[in-house]
Structure 1
């Protein structure tokens, strides 16, 4: 009996503990309704705010999720605040005093969520002023990847006012982030002159790291006197660091040069010597091969440019290892060879891992059949010495590709009487075969290529398609590029307002228009240090804003209209 009388004293504390724990209720329909803000202190757009605490009251219990990343306060206060959620109230306490006569914008994004299904409060923003009025101007637009025609989500978009501000060194005061569709909006801005830029801030320090982070900028300032819409910011990876020589030493059978970043081009020279070289594993490595007479070292001048035209001009001394070292195996790889039956052309590339010393053309044959072959000469090749790549292209009499008639087959086939004693299997006829015989290519280290062969069935006209383009622009210089689905350039044409791309295999393509401001025949990525913006790019899009062109065999597509501006 005493135990029963005392039982409620044991149960009551357990009841209290269970009531204090915030958990999601079990059972019932899934909660899909986000928390709703009922009231706030201060109220929205309150002026003359002098307190250091902001409170938000919701219609249900809430929690805060990753607030230091989700909450954006402009002008920036360096995350100097504490935030806590208790039941249905969120309290944000500022650690430092806000500036006088300044409008502050608090964008909570997805920081405040209900405790059941983690539904974030929608469009949760609060503006207040420490002065007598609220600044209300805005700038909005989209952050984009110009080379791949896609939006950049969750990137930092920022403003600065001073002409001495440097995005590679300084943190912005006004900032926001783009949403899942790349859209951004900077709000509660005062009138003034601003500079706009964006950064994919991987390390979250609000300073552009050009080595690892994509970024974009606008050279012209913005005179903000009214709301501005549709300002696109192109973000690209563009290493703005100075170009330096970081290492040079003998390695294996060659002399290796290492630079601080990838090069666009380079030139090596030495008086009275022929310097054989190429890019190594990437374009920050240069390999120099030993083609010199026995010398301890050779003085070589290196002149190089990177993608933003930083230059390097220095003299180094190439020395090779005296140890007996086995050279790297010589490798070859054929790429993209095609035979077009309607034009009588064969074209493709061969990639090597070393520079070439010689080509034996009598070992390169396109065999149409047992009676007809196509041979090649030095006029049919183009050598890319920087990348160790050989392009082979030849036009021949397309009638050679016609199937032989029955009478022609009989005329070229010797008559043989079958032997009653032996039976031989019919000889297999090999046709449409590209052959690289053993030793067709000799490397700079005197090793020869292996035998290789591949079937190259001629492509008939009805197996291909054509894309017609109509370019409308007042710009004098531009480039039209045909891209595959991986944004590789298939073909390009310069300053042709009605270009057409023929002999295309059925596939998905895109069209990219580059406005060639400097008329150098390629896209220039710009330079923040020199205040040069990337050259403008436009993609073709159909009436449904789809950039993809689905080309089928025996189709003609177009003319497809692409405009700038």
Structure 2
């Protein structure tokens, strides 16, 4: 009996040991090792090869992450014909197309190939081969900036592309011949370029089409032909938005009291030519729309010449025949809004915008109540129209006596204070509050100089909400000063207004015109563009350094040596 017990015990022990050997251990450390390449066919740096298929073999099972986006191939091939598959530890690319003669191809896999278990990407994985007897070795490198950054720099999805001169496509119509992507700092390099002449572009490819959408994606371009006969460095791009859609009038009609013109884009420069404009004819603007109003109905159509321009300078110069028949229904209600919440020092400056031109103002209904017995009555000399041809924005400049000690001043208007061009009155009143600033809380001054001679300059002092606090225009000098500033955090934006039209002009690719340059004050010590102002503070001697212009830095000779300077456009 004892022997039988021993036999059963050892049998059970052997069975347990046998089972333990067949079971996979659980748990353990996370696999952080990337897959290792074992074989590549064709081999890297191969010559005189025209593969129909590319095979990559790894030391473990792998998977693909969005290969159509993440595998960058130069020069351009037809990606619609390319088939990429992963099976076990092998990746296969079926090219399904004829490759060009005597051309170096680069397949940059970036992070598209990952291990199956943890998603670790294969590192520095690139295949270079030539269909001829040599590998093209020229390169182009540089950096990308953004003229209007939103928060922290974002260099995701930014592509740089080269198109050979004579190519029928461009950044809006097809993928480039050579392409690369920026790193996290905005730097880029295109390698293995064939000697030749190219056009160079950069853009933010948010929708992964390998081309730019000029209505929604920022871009930039080099205005001159890029001749690549040696390695080129420091080519700078500055991205900004620019809608270069054709500018056109889509439709026009009389609608409930106004003759409405509908455009595909916002008119930025507007000139309506008729002898009654500003007398019996007025107009307002809304989103992609101009509304023309008449003080009286008219039996005959009248010809009005339109001279308009959009943000990129495209023009409309034509005539329309406007109609103003008798109204058949009740006119649209008169509505308005005020810039309530603004601060002031000595003179309260208010603005009220209306949806229609204003013809009459009842000043008895306009006032600022101080207490139960005292008001500040608004007088005609305190009121003006921002544009006498539109009459839909009223500006107030109301002096406030120093003897008054209120902090909040409520600009008050009753119903029926304003009458519009269609004899409608405002049906509701309004109280818009404005805050008087205590002079003791103000910062004294921000002053300094722009280290550039490429004016005129528009200087915009922006508050912590990135809203415009104050703006100045420098016509013939580079020194600036902002005084009497509320305590807070600010930034200074500079626009180089090359054409002197007192606004920023975007690029126009079809006219080979670059965007006007935009940059910010930067504190080089702490790498911040913020300026902190406290009451009584004076911040002097700020130096605003321009960022690099689009293109290459110029080299000038100094004492038999060369130094680089910014190539101002």
Answer whether TM exceeds 0.5 for this pair. Answer: yes
Change (3 A) 1:395 1:97: same
Decide whether the 8 Å contact of 2:297 with 2:326 is kept in 1.
no
- Alignment partner, residue 119 of structure 1: 120
Post-superposition Cα deviations, 1:121-166, rounded to whole Å, max 9, x if no partner, equal 2332222212222222222333333123644420332111216755
**1:347 lines up with 2:370 in the alignment:** no
- Who is 2:12 aligned against? none
Question: How far 1:368 sits from its partner (Å)?
Answer: 4.4
Q: Which residue does the alignment assign to 2:104?
A: 103
Q: Distance in 2 between matches of 1:461 and 1:272?
A: 47
- Aligned counterparts of 2:25 and 2:73: Cα–Cα separation in 1: 34
1:62-81 equivalences under 5 Å are 62-79=62-79, 80-81=81-82
Matched residue, 1:377: 380
Which residue of structure 2 aligns with residue 357 of structure 1? 359
Once the 2 structures are TM-superposed, how far is the Cα of residue 312 of structure 1 from its aligned partner? 0.8
> Structure 1: how far apart are the matches of 2:48 and 2:542?
57
Instruction: Report deviation, 1:448.
Output: 2.4
1:240 aligns with 2:244: yes
- Distance apart, 1:95 and its partner CA: 1.1
SS at match of 2:45: coil
Change (3 A) 1:61 1:330: same
Change in 2 beyond 3 A, CA 1:336/1:520:
same
Cα–Cα, structure 1 residues 229 and 321, in superposed 2: closer, same or farther, change >3 Å?
Answer: farther
Question: Is the CA contact 1:251–1:320 (under 8 Å) kept in the aligned structure 2?
Answer: no
CA distance in 2, matches of 1:126, 1:298: 69
Matched, 1:539 2:539: no
CA displacement at 1:112 relative to structure 2: 0.7
Alignment RMSD, CA only?
3.0
In the alignment, what sits opposite 2:44? 44
CA distance in 2 between counterparts of 1:237 and 1:103 reads: 34
Number of the residue aligned with 2:3? none
Shift of 1:84: 1.7
1:453 aligns with 2:456: no
* 1:431, distance to aligned residue in structure 2 (A): 7.2
Q: Aligned partners of 2:229, 2:459: CA distance in 1, in Å?
A: 38
CA distance change for structure 1 residues 69 and 252 in 2, over 3 Å: closer, same or farther? same
Provide the C-alpha distance between the structure 2 equivalents of 1:482 and 1:170, rounded to a whole number of angstroms: 40
| Segment of structure 1 superposing worse, 380-389 or 443-452 | 380-389
Residue 478 in structure 1 maps to residue 457 in structure 2: yes
Count matched residues: 512
Q: Gapped runs of 5+ residues in structure 1?
A: 1-23, 404-429
- Secondary structure in 1 aligned to 2:436? coil
**Aligned counterparts, 1:516-535, within 5 A:** 516-535=497-516
Q: Deviations over 1:94-119 (max 9, x none)?
A: 21222121111111122111111222
**Gaps in structure 2 of 5+ consecutive residues:** 1-23, 547-565
CA distance in 1, matches of 2:314, 2:436: 46
Residue 500 (structure 1) shift = 2.3
CA distance in 1, matches of 2:442, 2:114: 55
In structure 1, C-alpha distance between the alignment counterparts of 2:459 and 2:530, rounded to whole Å:
15
C-alpha separation between the residues in 2 aligned to 1:307 and 1:180?
Answer: 31
CA shift, 1:264, in A, is: 0.7
Name the SS for the 2:510 alignment partner. coil
The one of 258, 265, 274 aligned to 2:262: 258
> Would the alpha carbon gap of residues 361 and 223 (structure 1) be closer, same or farther in structure 2, given more than 3 Å must change?
farther
Tell me how far 1:525 sits from its aligned partner.
Answer: 1.0
1:349 deviates by 1.9
Question: 1:153·1:181 contact (CA, 8 Å) conserved in 2?
Answer: no
Cα-to-partner distance string for 1:409-447 (whole Å, 9 max, x where unaligned):
xxxxxxxxxxxxxxxxxxxxx973322233333222222
Deviation string 1:252-293 (CA, Å, 9 cap, x unpaired) is: 33222111222112222334563211112x0x1111224233
Closer, same or farther: CA 169–457 of 1 in aligned 2, 3 Å: closer
